Amino acid sequence: MGRALRSDKLHETLLPKRIALPVFASDALSSVAYAPDEILLTLSLAGMAAYSFSWKVGLAVVVVMLTVVASYRQNVHAYPSGGGDYEVATVNLGPNAGLTVGAALMVDYVLTVAVSISSGVANISSAIPAIGEHKVLYAVGLVLLLMAMNLRGVRESGSAFAVPTYLFMASIIGMTLFGLIRAATGAHMEAESAGYSIQAEDSFTGIALVFLLLRTFSSGCAALTGVEAISNGVPAFRKPKSKNAATTLLLMGTIAVTMLMGILVLAKMTKVHFAADPETQLIGAPPGHEQKTVVAQVADAVFGGTFASPVFYLVLAVTGLILVLAANTAFNGFPVLGSILAQDRYLPRQLHTRGDRLAFSNGIIMLAGFAIVLIVAFNAEPTKLIQLYVVGVFVSFTLSQAGMIRHWTRHLKTENDPAARRHMIRSRVINTIGLAMTGTVLVIVLLTKFTQGAWIAILAMAALFMLMKGIRRHYDRVSEELVADLDEDMKLPSRVHGIVLVSKLHKPTLRALSYARAARPSVLEAVTVSVDPEETEALREEWDERGIEVPLKVLDSPYREITRPIVEYVKNVRRSSPRDVVTVYIPEYVVGHWWEHILHNQSALRLKGRLLFTTGVVVASVPWQLVSSDRVKDVGGYNAPGAVRRGEPSAKQKAEARARREAGRGTGGSAGGGGGATGR
Amino acid sequence: MGRALRSDKLHETLLPKRIALPVFASDALSSVAYAPDEILLTLSLAGMAAYSFSWKVGLAVVVVMLTVVASYRQNVHAYPSGGGDYEVATVNLGPNAGLTVGAALMVDYVLTVAVSISSGVANISSAIPAIGEHKVLYAVGLVLLLMAMNLRGVRESGSAFAVPTYLFMASIIGMTLFGLIRAATGAHMEAESAGYSIQAEDSFTGIALVFLLLRTFSSGCAALTGVEAISNGVPAFRKPKSKNAATTLLLMGTIAVTMLMGILVLAKMTKVHFAADPETQLIGAPPGHEQKTVVAQVADAVFGGTFASPVFYLVLAVTGLILVLAANTAFNGFPVLGSILAQDRYLPRQLHTRGDRLAFSNGIIMLAGFAIVLIVAFNAEPTKLIQLYVVGVFVSFTLSQAGMIRHWTRHLKTENDPAARRHMIRSRVINTIGLAMTGTVLVIVLLTKFTQGAWIAILAMAALFMLMKGIRRHYDRVSEELVADLDEDMKLPSRVHGIVLVSKLHKPTLRALSYARAARPSVLEAVTVSVDPEETEALREEWDERGIEVPLKVLDSPYREITRPIVEYVKNVRRSSPRDVVTVYIPEYVVGHWWEHILHNQSALRLKGRLLFTTGVVVASVPWQLVSSDRVKDVGGYNAPGAVRRGEPSAKQKAEARARREAGRGTGGSAGGGGGATGR
C-alpha cells in the first residue's frame, strides 16, 4: 500500500508537455540572446560586406539544429531512463567514451553558467548602462545568488519556469512579427548602430574568408547548447514518456530556430552593426560609446528608436531573466550528473545519494566557484567565453550519435519483425546523418576555435577525465582488497575487553560507564590519563566516594599528551591477548551549533582517529546530548534542486507520503510498527 | 625508576645562563634595530633642532628599561612557574585582569611578528635596495617561511639562538666601540644623510613640543618589548632557577640599553638625518632616494662610507637575522599562551594539550594569518606598525606590577621573620616604582598614540577579551549542565539491542558482524537500506548463501536517502523499548591519505552524526584498515616549537625515555606489562 501511495504521489509531479517545454527549453532558447551577436561580430572582422553572409550562416545553424533534434528524438525513444548522452556512450562505446562525455558535460555546465550570466548582464546593461560599468561584479553577484538559492533548496515548480520562458518566446516572436509588419507598412526602422560603419580588421579573401565563415558558423552553433537537456529528463514526462519527450523536443527545436532567424532577419533589416572590437572597428560612434547587444538594438529599433519604450525594457528584462534561468538549469543538472558519475564510482560515492543535502551542496559550490573564476578571468565577456563553450557540447553530441548507430546495429542483429527492423534502419540513418553533421561541426569548431580559447575547455576535460579515472581506479583497488571469499573465516573473537575513557566524573562519563556495564564485556575497566596529578587524585577520590564498581586505571603522561598513552595502552592490551576485541567507550558531547564543535570533542575525535588504526579495536561513542542539541533534532524539508526536471516529489510531498506510510503501518496493528522490526 | 630516568633526561634540556640569555633575549635586543629609528623620525617632525633631544629621550627609555628589569627580577622570584604576567595578574587581581593581560599578550605576539619582520625587511633592503621594491612580498614570504618551519616542528637548540644573538651583540657593541675609537682619533665619519637637511612638518613649541617629546618617548619604549620573555621561561633555567633567571634578566637589560645608547650616540656623531616622511622632509636628497635604516647608515659611516664594506653587509645581515629570530619567538610563545588560556577554559580545550601537534598548528597558522594581514594593511612599514605595538606590552607590564604589589602585601600579612619581611618590603617598593613608571608610560602611550593606530590594538584586545569571556561562559554553562550529583542514578539499561549496518558483504562488514556477535547483545540484527532493488536482492541472496546467522532487515528508501531511514528505524526501536540501549555497529574504512577521506566513510560519518542526537544510542565504529593506512602507523617525532624555552625534551629524547621505560617495565616481569593492567 505504501508503494502505491508513493507512485500516486509521484504521478502528480510528472510534467505535461506544456510545462515540460519551458522547464527544459530555457537553456536552449536562451542561446538566441547571444548566438546572433556572435555571428555578426565574427563577420564584422571582414567588414560590412561580410554581413551579407549572416542569414546564410544562420540557415546553416538551423540545418544543424534540426538534424540534431531529429537525432535526439531517436535517443529518447531508445534510452528513456534519463541517463542521456553519458548512458548512450557508456553502453554502446564503452566506459572511456562515457567518461569523455561526462567530463565534457561537466565543463559545459560550468560554461553554461558563465556564458548565460555574462550574456544576461550584457543584455541588462544594454538597458541600464550603469550596470555595464561593473559587469564582472554583477555577474559574480548573480552567480552567488543562484548558488545561495540552490543551496537553500528552493521549492521549484513548473510554473516558475513556464511564465518567463513563454514570456521570452512571446516577446521575441512577437517582436519579429511586429517588426515584419512595420517593415511591410514601410515604417522607418533603424538600429542605433545603423549609422556607424565597420572597419574590417583584415581583408579576408579565398581560404581566409572560408575560414572566417566557418568560425562564424562555429560561434553560431552556440545556439545548440541545451538541446540535449530533454534527453536527460525523459522520466519527468507524463506517459507515453518517450513520445511526449520527442514531441517536446521537436517543438523546442522549431521555436529555437524560428527565434534565431527572426533576430537575424530583424538585425539585417534594421542594419545592426555589431563589431568584435567596437573601439577600433566602429567608425562614427561617439566617444565612450558602449555597444548594445543585438537583441537590445533590434528591440529598440522595432519599438521606437529612442531606448525609451517600455516594451524595449520588457524585452530586455525577459531576456535577462531567461538567461539567469538557463544558468539555473546548470545548477540543477551538475549535481545530477555528479550523482550518475558517482554511481559508476567515477566521483566520491557520497554524491550518489540524491536525497542528501550535503552531496548537492558540494556540487553547487564547486559549480559556482568555477563559473566565477571564468567570469573574472574573461571579464564577463560572452564573446570570449563562447570560444570555450561549443566544443564540449559537440563532443557529447558526436559520441552520443556514434553510440546510437552501434545501438541500432546491435539490435538489428536480433530483431526479426520486419516493421521493427524498418523502423530501426530508419533511425540508424537519422543517427548516421546526425553523426556526420555533429562530427563535422566538432572538427570545424576545433579547427577554428582551438587557439581562440577552446584549448582551455579541452584541457579541463582532459584533467577531469584523468581525475575521474583515478578515482575509479582507487575504488576498484579498494573493492578488490575488501572482497570476502565465500568461505571467509568468520571466527568470533574470544572475549571483549571494555575500556571506558574518563576525564571527569560528570553525567556523560556516568552514562558511558553504565552503557559499558550493560554490554557485559569479559573485562571492563575505566582509564584516565594523568596530565595534572592533583586533578587525577581528585578523580580517584570521587571514584571511591561514589563507589563505582569499575576499576579505574591511571595512565601516566609525563609530556601532557593524551592520545599517545591511551593508544599505547590499548596496543598493549591487544598484544597480551590478541584474540580479544577491545571496545573503547568514549563519552561524546552532542552539540547544536557549529562553533560548539570547535569547543568540544576535539581530543575525542583525534583519539578515535588514532585508535582506529589498531586492528581489533572497536570505538564506541556514547553520546551526551547537550541542551543546545535540541535545535537540530529534525533536518527534514530539503528540496533537492532540479527535482522538477527529474520528476521527483518535493520535501513536503515526501513528508506527507512518509506520514501516510506511518499511518498505514499503524492501522496494521502495533506489532507492525517499530517494535515489530526487532521480531524479524 | 621510569620517573627518575625522565627527570635525568629533562635536566639535560635545561639552559645554562650563557645559552638562556640568547634564547630569551633575541626579542628584547632586536628592538634596538628599530627603536632609534622611531626616536629620530618622530623628532624630525619638529625639524633638525629637535634632534638634540634624541639622547635625552634615549636616556628616559633607559631609565624605564632598568626600572622594568628591576621589577621583573621580583616577579621571577615570586612566580618561578613560568606563568608570567598572566599568572601574576590572575592570582592577585582576579580573572578579568588576567584575561586582559592574556588578550594584550596575544595581540602583542601578532605585532611582534609584523614589526620584527617589517623591520627586518627594511634593514635588509637598506643593504640590497632591490628588496625594498617588493618589501610587502618579502615580508609576507618570511612570515610564511617561519610558519612552515614551525608547523613542521623544527628541532630547536640553544645554540641556534646563541650564534646569531651573540653575533648581533658583538656587531652592535663592536661597532659602537670602533666608532668611538675612530672619532677619538679624529676620523671623519658622516652618514649618507648627513648632508641633507630636515624640513619640519610644523613648528612645535610649548605644549606641542612636550607632546611631541612624549610621543618620541612612547615610540622609543618599543625597545622594552620582549623584556617579559624571561619571566615566562623560568622553568627552563638551571637551578637555582629564579636566581639564574634574575641574573640573566639584569644582563639582558644592561646589554639592551648599552646597545640602544650606542646606536643613538653613533647616529648623533655621524649626523644621521632620519625623516618621518622622507619625500617631503629630506631636503637635498637625490630624487628617488630611499631612506636607509639608522643601523644601516651608522654602520656605513663607521665602516667606510661607500656602502661597500663587507662589515657593513655583515652588520645588516645579522640585524635582519636577529629580527627574524625575534619574530620566531612569537611563534613559540603564542601557542604556549594559548595553552595556558585554554587550561583556564578561555580558549578551546584542545589547545591545552601541549604534546599535540594539531593544537599548535592552529595557533601558528592564526598567528601568521593575522601578522600577514597587518603587514599588508600597513605596507610593511615598521613606523606605522609600531604605533599599535607598545600599548599591549605596557598594559601587561602595568597589571603585572599592580599584581606584584598585592602579592607582597598579602604575604606580609602572614610573614613574621623580620629578614624576610624586610626583603618583601624592599620588593614591594621596587614593584611600586615599577607600577608608577609603567603606568605613566601606559598613559603617555595611550595619549600620544591612540589616534595614530593604538586604537586598533585596543579594539583587538577588547574583542579578544569578549571572545574568551564568551568561551569561558559557554564551558561553565556546559559543565554545570553536566555535573552529576553524588547520588546520581546509575541504573543499567535492561538490554542491549545490537544493529550492524550493512551495505555490501565484504571484509569490513564481516568483521563488524563478528565483533557485534562477540559482544553478545540481547538482540542482534543486520540492517541495510535498499536504494537499488537489484543490489538489495543480490545482498539477500549472498546473505543466505553464506549462512550468516544474524537476521538481515531491509529498510525501504523510496527517495534514495540513507541516513533518514536508519535514524527513523533506530528511533522506532528506542520507542518500543525505551529501557534498552541500541548499539549501532558501523564498519569504517581506515585510510592513509587525506584525499582518501573524501572518497570513503562520508555517509558513515554523517549517519553517525545524526544517530548521536538520539538518546540511548551507542555508535560503535568497527575499523577496517586499508593497506594505505600503514603509512601513518606512527605519528611520533614531533618537536613542539618553543620547547627549548620551556625546558621540554625533544621528540627524540621523549622517544628514548619512553623506550627506556618500556625496557624497565620488561625486566619487571611480563605481568607488569600490558596484560597486568587488566588485573587492577
Q: Do B505 and B429 fall into the same domain?
A: no
Which residue has cell 553523426? Answer: A435
| CA contacts within 13 A on the Cβ side of B4 | 2
- B533 at the A interface (CB within 8 A)? no
pLDDT the model gives residue A675? 34
pLDDT for position A353: 63
The model's pLDDT over A482-513, given as tens digits with 9 standing for 90+, comes to 888 776 666 778 889 999 999 888 888 999 99
- Residue B646's pLDDT is what? 63
State the nearest Cα–Cα gap between A23 and chain B, in angstroms: 22
Which of A549, A621, A628, A648 is the mutation pick for testing B, counting most B CBs within 10 A? A621
Task: Please say which residue of A409, A444, A476 terminates a domain.
Answer: A476
Q: Which has more confidence, B590 or A422?
A: A422
Same structural domain for residues B513 and B465? Answer: no
In which element (H, E) is residue B585 found?
A: strand B581-590
Same domain, B358 and B313: yes
Are the CB atoms for A404 and A88 separated by under 8 Å? yes
Give how far Cα A2 sits from Cα of A9, A355, A639, B420, B664, Å. 11, 19, 21, 88, 68
Q: What is the CATH number of the domain that holds A96?
A: 1.20.1740.10
Handedness of CA B40, B43, B46, B49 (dihedral sign): negative
Report the C-alpha gap between B305 and A275 in whole angstroms: 63
Beta strands in A205-351 (DSSP E): 282-283
- Indicate yes or no: CB of A506 within 8 angstroms of CB of B484: yes
Q: Is B471 helix (H, G, I), strand (E, B) or coil?
A: helix
What digits encode the pLDDT tens for the residues A172-206?
Answer: 999 999 999 998 988 888 888 888 888 888 788 88
Q: What is the pLDDT, as a whole number, of residue A356?
A: 58
A480 close to B (CB below 8 A): no
Question: Residues A423, A523: one domain?
Answer: no
Residue A93, pLDDT > 80, answer yes
pLDDT of residue B491: 72
Q: Residue B519 burial (CB < 10 Å; 0-12/13-18/19+)?
A: buried
Contact B54, B264 (CB under 8 A): yes
Q: Output helix, strand, coil percentages for chain A, rounded to the nearest 5.
A: 70, 5, 25
A461 shares a domain with A337: yes
End-to-end CA distance of chain B: 20
**Predicted confidence (pLDDT) per residue in A153-166, tens digit:** 665 666 777 888 99
Which residues sit opposite A150 in a β-bridge? Answer: none
Residues of chain A contacting residue B497, judged by C-beta atoms under 8 Å apart:
678
The CATH number for B556's domain is 3.40.50
Residue A663 clears pLDDT 90, i.e. is over it = no
Neighbouring CB atoms inside 10 A of B546's CB total: 17
Residues, chain B: 680
**Intra-chain end-to-end CA distance of chain A, in Å:** 20
Q: Which of residues 627-656 of A touch B (CB under 8 A)?
A: 627, 629, 632-633, 635-636, 648-649, 654
| pLDDT value at residue B13 | 65
Q: By mean pLDDT, which of A440-454, A596-610, B363-377 is the weakest?
A: A596-610
End residue of a domain, out of B621, B636, B651: B636
Same-domain check for residues A592 and A523: yes
Residue of higher predicted confidence among B495 and A114 = A114
Q: Among B131, B618, B453, B321, which residue's Cα sits nearest to residue A624? A: B618
Could you give the CA distance from residue B293 to residue A269 in angstroms, rounded to a whole number? 72
Domain match, A404 and A519 both? no
Joined together, the cell numbers standing for residue A346 give 567515477
Residue A289 has pLDDT above 90, yes or no: no
Work out the average pLDDT over A91-117. 94
Rounded to an integer, the average pLDDT of A267-289 is: 86
CA distances from B158 to A318, A459, B151, B236 (A): 72, 52, 19, 11
Model ipTM? 0.75
* Band (A472; pLDDT cuts 50, 70, 90): very high
The C-alpha angle with vertex B120 and arms to B119 and B121, in degrees rounded to 5, equals: 90
Same domain? For B128 and B255 the reply is yes
pLDDT of res. A665: 52
Report how far residue A467's alpha carbon sits from residue A348's, in angstroms, rounded to the nearest whole number: 11
Which of A80-84, A341-345, A524-528, B187-191 is the most confident on average? Answer: A524-528
In a domain, A389, yes or no: yes
Q: Give the separation between CA A459 and CA A453, rounded to whole angstroms.
A: 10
Q: Is residue A73 part of a domain?
A: yes
**Average pLDDT, integer, range A329-334:** 85
Partner A, chain B 323-342, Cβ-Cβ below 8 Å: none
pLDDT exceeding 90 applies to what percent of chain A? Answer: 42
Alpha-carbon torsion, ordered B568, B573, B575, B579, to 10 deg:
-140
Q: What DSSP assignment string belongs to B244-303?
A: HHHHHHHHHHHHHHHHHHHHHHHHHHTT----SSHHHHEETPPTTPPPPPHHHHHHHHHT
DSSP assignment string, B121-179: HHHHHHHSHHHHTTHHHHHHHHHHHHHHHHHHT----HHHHHHHHHHHHHHHHHHHHHH
Which ranges of A559-636 would DSSP assign to H, the alpha helix? 563-576, 594-599, 602-611
Task: State how many domains chain A has.
Answer: 2
3-class secondary-structure state, position A197? strand
pLDDT reading at A3 higher than 50: no
Burial of residue A109 (number of CB atoms within 10 Å: 0-12, 13-18, 19+) = buried
pLDDT higher than 60, residue A19: yes
- For B56-99, how does the pLDDT look when each residue is reduced to its tens digit (9 = 90+)? 999 999 999 999 999 999 999 998 887 789 999 999 999 999 99
- List residues bridging with B587 in a β-sheet: B622
Q: Is the dihedral of CA A183, A187, A190, A195 positive or negative?
A: positive
Whether B190 and B262 map to the same domain: the answer is yes
The mean pLDDT of A256-265, rounded to a whole number, is 93
Tell me if A507 and B488 make a contact (CB, 8 A cut-off). yes
pTM higher than 0.80: no
pLDDT of res. A173: 94
The answer to the question of residue A218 being in a domain is yes
Q: Which of A387, A463, A373 is nearest to A113 (CA)?
A: A373
Contact between B368 and B143 under an 8 Å Cβ cutoff? The reply is: yes
Owning domain of residue A543: 496-635
- Give the separation between CA A82 and CA A343, rounded to whole angstroms: 14
Asked if B362 and A616 count as a contact pair (C-beta separation under 8 A), the reply is: no
Same domain, A100 and A165: yes
Nearest to A271, CA basis, from A298, A310, A303: A298
Longest dimension (CA), chain B: 105
Which of chain A's residues have a Cβ under 8 Å away from the Cβ of B545? 486
Strand partners, A582: A497, A617
Kindly determine whether residue B492 and residue A505, on different chains, have CB atoms separated by under 8 Å. Answer: no
Largest separation between any pair of C-alpha atoms in chain A? 105
Omega of the bond prior to A286 within 30 degrees of 0, cis?
no
Cis amide prior to B240 (ω within 30 degrees): yes
Core vs surface per residue A18-36: b (16+ CB within 10 A) or e: ebbbbbbbbbbbbbbbbbb
The answer for A 127-186 residues in CB contact with B (under 8 A) is: none
State residue B647's pLDDT score: 63
Q: Which of B619, B636, B653 is the last residue of a domain?
A: B636
* Pairing, β A197-198 against β A282-283: antiparallel
Contact B265, B98 (CB under 8 A): no
Find chain A residues with C-beta within 8 A of B515's C-beta.
493, 581, 618
Asked if the structure places residue A78 within a domain, the reply is yes
Angstrom distances, CA of residue A125 to CA of A139, A256, A303, B658? 11, 24, 18, 71
C-beta of residue A153 within 8 angstroms of C-beta of residue A364: no
pLDDT < 70: residue spans in chain B: 1-13, 153-158, 305, 307, 353-359, 486-490, 601, 631-655, 657-680
The helix/strand/coil state of A561 is coil
| Statement to judge: residues A120 and A227 lie in one domain | yes
- Check B569 against A674: CB less than 8 A apart: yes
Residue A1 falls inside a structural domain: no
Residue A652: inside a domain: no
Residue of B235, B236, B154 whose CA lies nearest to B639: B154
Q: Which of residues 420-439 of B touch A (CB under 8 A)?
A: none
Say if B369 falls within a structural domain.
yes
Q: What is the mean pLDDT of chain A?
A: 85
DSSP for residue B502:
-
| A4 and B CB contact within 8 Å | no
Q: Which residues in chain B have their CB less than 8 angstroms from residue A475's CB?
A: 599
B596 lies within 8 A of chain A by CB: yes
Q: Which amino acid is at A407?
A: H
pLDDT at site A298: 92
Within a domain: B677: no
Best CA proximity match to B65, nearest among B115, B108, B31, B39: B31
Q: What pLDDT score does B650 carry? A: 63
**What residues pair up with A528 in beta bridges, in sequence order?**
A554
CA B356 from chain center: how many Å?
14
Same domain, A505 and A453: no
Name the nearest CA neighbour of B405 among B151, B92, B41. B92
Task: Answer yes or no: are the C-beta atoms of B621 and A619 closer than 8 Å.
Answer: yes
Instruction: Label residue B414 exposed, middle or buried (CB < 10 Å: 0-12, 13-18, 19+).
Output: exposed
